[in-house]
Structure 1
Amino acid sequence: MENNQEKIKKLLDNLASLSEEAETIEFKENNFNKDGIGKRISALANSANLLNKKKAYLVFGIEDKTHNIVGTIFKPRSEKIGNELLESWLNQMITPKTNFQIYELDIEGKNVVIFEIAPAIIQPVKFQNFAYIRIASATKELINFPEKERKIWQNIDKKSFGKGIAKEGLSVSKILELLDYAKFFSLTKQEIPSETKKFVDKMMEYGFVNKNFEDDFDITNLGAILFAKDLKQFPTIKGRTIRVVIYKGNSRIEIVKNQERSFSYAVAFENLIDFINDKLPSNEEISRSFRKEIKMYPEKAIREFVANSLIHQDFSVSGHGPLIEIFENRIEITNAGQPLIDTERFIDHAPISRNEDIASFMRQIGFCEELGSGIDRALTEISIFQLPAPKFEVGDNFTRIILYAYKKLNDMTIEDKVRACYQHSVLKWIEGKRMTNETLRERFGIEKQNYSIASRIISETIKAKKIKESEKSKEYVPYWV
């Protein structure tokens, strides 16, 4: 919250208008001491986590029962513990370091102090090595309430980037200015409401917007990353724009086009896929009656791998957003962060999403499928096009998928052939079948009389320890079966 009197006054009015104290709000007059404040910061931070609140508040100068403004003699910015200022002392006594802000304001000559406290996000917040919790209007030691402590840890484990706040303290009109609500209703196949207020109500159902008080809302990271009209308007995600770079030839020496898209992911996805497909090379197919262009890469594969780069990026890793690079002989799709599962198990592994809330919505509107089902379909399409198998790379802080343009079998490296053989064996395993010399020949388009070529590829893949012979001779399964 910006430290200006108007916003703080509005916050105070909203807090004072509540009918009673809550487990994340405490009112006091002049009853304060250093230990009491430390314990309450711990208790309120932990209660905010427990109740999924964005902030908790400790307010001095408000009468507890009536919520009348009576003022306080407490001056936190000048209060000292020995020679140390109170705020500095609290920061040393509270672990882990917890974000709290102190606001002071004058209301008709009466001093009011507000401690605005962030929820526990790493572990339960402790004061002098003890964690506290609010029970009704009382402050108690958390250790005596194991169920609440367990729930706090569960909330910490489940805390996702999407639930974080991208912009706070917004009116309904400001939300509609920042988010593409028309696209939201179109993609979710809902009629646009006749009342402005219902626009935000619908977005709240999806977790895109949170309500604080009357006409006081926050846009979540989830809402912004999916429906912002301009990602650069949101500090938490402004670096996550999608970039498409087209190169001349097969190196990065000469850039033909470098386009950065600051539209949000749900808003821009279809146009992004159309743009990429439009820039990809084509093959010309001629029949007796007509001539048509066939794209080099299957669109289903492009959609799936681009969607995965948006969904599975690690937002905690600083740097750029998803990057799509188009060369004459390949496409490279890169996102921040390492994958949660081994790249060799991308095809068959049960779905694990780093950003499940983003993935869930993208699946709901049909932009992608689960990791482990969408990728196997993408690889099936690639094999139908008889393209080289994609390569999955992992660096210190990135994951990259490389899709290759068509190559003749003789032009493929041993690594290309082994990778394709392994992926083919996984696809067959998923189908409940086994890879054989015959199925591999179909994958590569090898004639029956050249079965020995497929046999050599199988031998190389066994040698690389990527496949093994199954219980039945001449049938093969992935190494991990």
Structure 2
Amino acid sequence: MEESADENVELLLALLQNNAELEWLEFKSSLGDPERIARYISGLANTAALLNRHSAYVVWGVEDETRRIIGTDFSPRTTKVKGQELELWLARATPGAVFAFIEFEFEGAHMVILRVHAAADRPVECLSKAYIRVGSSLVELKTDKDREGRLWDILRNKSFEEGTAMEAVAEERVQKLLDLGAYFARSRQAHPASLEDLLAIATTLGLLRPRDDGRWDITNLGALLFARELSSFPTVSGKSIRVVQYEGDTRAQVVRRQDGAKGYAVGFMGLLSWLKAVLPAREVYVNGERTEQLVYTDLLLREVLANAMVHQDLTVRGSGPRVEIFNDRIEVSNPGRSLVAVDRLINHPPLARNSALANLMLQMRLCENHGTGWDRIAMETEDAGLPSPTVQSDDDSMRVTILGPRKLTTMQREDQKWIVYAHACLQYANHKHLTNGSLRDRFGISTRNSSQVSRLIAYAVEDGLIELFDESVGTKSRSYVPYWARLVR
């Protein structure tokens, strides 16, 4: 959402009230060198973080000494750098930076404001060098060890959720930007009777911060969950959930693409409904009547989506959860590696990357209790007769693949062994052991084919995925536990 002309003028007048040039504010009558602008972006992003400010600014069209409005010929929209648009070149020169140019007319003069958001998780660099403002000077960060150390301390200890998505927002505009009513509807609480009470509760929840001037700062947490339009907030606009449906079993042809425009809490149920409308169903008989049933259950979809939202690495710029739909499977990915080894996701103590986000999602009944989400996913796939989800994790991302219905005889042996292992983990989480009988029930295999199940168990034992619980019992009484169970017994 672009800011209105009145808001641009209001911002300019507020910046002009600062009589002295500050480390987070620079006035320029002219500045057109792209590389120098890029250095300013780096320096101002790092300075804003050091000073615990949401943003820092460069203003073109103001005489430095007198603060007189003189206008500028500089136009970022028309400036090119070696044939590239200026903003694209600057984005590549300062990876990780969040910035925006604002062009407008004021009293007949052309004005430009560059707003630079504070560095989030690491210092912003320009062409592989980090800068910072010292007084009115722009210097390399490494030359000031004191500032460099303090900046790193701040960045390491500050969560993305606490960061500011938008500052100095009038209280009536807060409601236009955020659908705070969604919190009370989803958590089944009465909506506050007054705006004052609403803002007070939102502050307690970490969605807003009051300011001394009577305005409000909206946090990244507030924007990410309750934005009416994520595009209104540059710090979280890249975190929207993208859904892509493909023709067939490959990515060769896209059937449809849908990008979530709203905050997670506001748009979650709509996303779920959209997915259920495009996902396949199968015919089943209930009490003798034929009916359609989703291949992927409501609870399964809800848990996989919520996990991707809650456990993503929010500091990865411009990347959010992604849902890919194929004829034979669903793949749900998110930025950031899994904090837990992928073979320990079931029955593992909770590790939260974004605890404030997880807590609010839990309060709004959008996800399970901490640490139980993967147990629920495993149970849902078993109950639906689906193969156990597979998980891939690297340094940059995590991908969960949920396969559609498969016959045991058509599965690869690796997939078969993974299902055996996942079943053992789920049984252990429920204080039970894997047995030939429990695995037959899992695969829907009759008693007369128990030897087939015995072979699958043997394969998993050979690979070290499961182990015999008690070697002293007879063959028919044998039960098995995950390989790691001996470490926790």
The match for 1:436 is 435
Work out whether residues 169 and 216 of structure 1, in 8 Å CA contact, stay in contact via their aligned partners in 2. Answer: yes
The match for 2:483 is 479
Distance 1:157 1:208, change over 3 A: same
The match for 2:14 is 7
Distance 1:288 1:7, change over 3 A: closer
The match for 2:60 is none
Whole-angstrom distance in 2 between the partners of 1:313 and 1:479: 28
Report the CA distance between 1:198 and its aligned residue: 2.9
Work out whether residues 180 and 227 of structure 1, in 8 Å CA contact, stay in contact via their aligned partners in 2. Answer: yes
Report the CA distance between 1:292 and its aligned residue: 1.0
The match for 1:321 is 320
Amino acid at match of 2:183: F
The match for 1:465 is 464
Report the CA distance between 1:336 and its aligned residue: 0.8
Distance 1:301 1:313, change over 3 A: same
How do residues 189-204 of structure 1 correspond to structure 2 at under 5 angstroms? 189-204=188-203
Distance 1:127 1:172, change over 3 A: farther
Work out whether residues 347 and 429 of structure 2, in 8 Å CA contact, stay in contact via their aligned partners in 1. Answer: yes
Whole-angstrom distance in 1 between the partners of 2:156 and 2:343: 26
Report the CA distance between 1:233 and its aligned residue: 0.9
Query: Which runs of 5 or more structure 1 residues have no equivalent in the other structure?
Result: 13-44, 58-72, 76-116, 133-141, 143-148
Report the CA distance between 1:46 and its aligned residue: 13
Whole-angstrom distance in 1 between the partners of 2:261 and 2:174: 18
Distance 1:127 1:287, change over 3 A: closer
Whole-angstrom distance in 1 between the partners of 2:223 and 2:347: 32
The match for 1:22 is none
Whole-angstrom distance in 2 between the partners of 1:219 and 1:46: 16
Whole-angstrom distance in 2 between the partners of 1:352 and 1:10: 46
Whole-angstrom distance in 2 between the partners of 1:357 and 1:390: 27
Report the CA distance between 1:205 and its aligned residue: 1.1
Whole-angstrom distance in 1 between the partners of 2:233 and 2:55: 23
The match for 1:406 is 405
Distance 1:211 1:420, change over 3 A: same
How do residues 344-363 of structure 1 correspond to structure 2 at under 5 angstroms? 344-363=343-362
Q: Deviations over 1:228-286 (max 9, x none)?
A: 00101111111111111112211112222111111110001111112112221111123
Q: Deviations over 1:265-317 (max 9, x none)?
A: 00011111121122211111236752211111222111101101111111222
How do residues 136-155 of structure 1 correspond to structure 2 at under 5 angstroms? none
The match for 2:452 is 453
Work out whether residues 120 and 160 of structure 2, in 8 Å CA contact, stay in contact via their aligned partners in 1. Answer: no
DSSP-derived class of the 1:386 partner: coil
Report the CA distance between 1:176 and its aligned residue: 1.3
Report the CA distance between 1:457 and its aligned residue: 0.6
The match for 1:139 is none
DSSP-derived class of the 1:174 partner: helix
Report the CA distance between 1:122 and its aligned residue: 7.0
How do residues 369-408 of structure 1 correspond to structure 2 at under 5 angstroms? 369-408=368-407
| RMSD, matched Cα | 3.8
The match for 2:365 is 366
The match for 1:284 is 283
Whole-angstrom distance in 2 between the partners of 1:342 and 1:190: 37
Work out whether residues 207 and 222 of structure 1, in 8 Å CA contact, stay in contact via their aligned partners in 2. Answer: yes
DSSP-derived class of the 1:360 partner: helix
Report the CA distance between 1:164 and its aligned residue: 0.5
DSSP-derived class of the 1:294 partner: strand
Work out whether residues 46 and 120 of structure 1, in 8 Å CA contact, stay in contact via their aligned partners in 2. Answer: no
How do residues 24-423 of structure 1 correspond to structure 2 at under 5 angstroms? 54=53, 129=145, 158-286=157-285, 289-423=288-422
Report the CA distance between 1:471 and its aligned residue: 3.0
DSSP-derived class of the 1:175 partner: helix
Report the CA distance between 1:128 and its aligned residue: 5.9
Amino acid at match of 1:6: L
Rg larger for: 1
Work out whether residues 170 and 215 of structure 1, in 8 Å CA contact, stay in contact via their aligned partners in 2. Answer: no
Whole-angstrom distance in 2 between the partners of 1:334 and 1:361: 21
Distance 1:435 1:186, change over 3 A: same
Query: Which runs of 5 or more structure 2 residues have no equivalent in the other structure?
Result: 1-6, 20-46, 57-64, 68-116, 124-140
Work out whether residues 421 and 482 of structure 2, in 8 Å CA contact, stay in contact via their aligned partners in 1. Answer: yes
Distance 1:120 1:306, change over 3 A: closer
Amino acid at match of 1:243: R
Amino acid at match of 1:294: Q
Amino acid at match of 2:289: F
Whole-angstrom distance in 2 between the partners of 1:398 and 1:128: 34
Work out whether residues 178 and 228 of structure 1, in 8 Å CA contact, stay in contact via their aligned partners in 2. Answer: yes
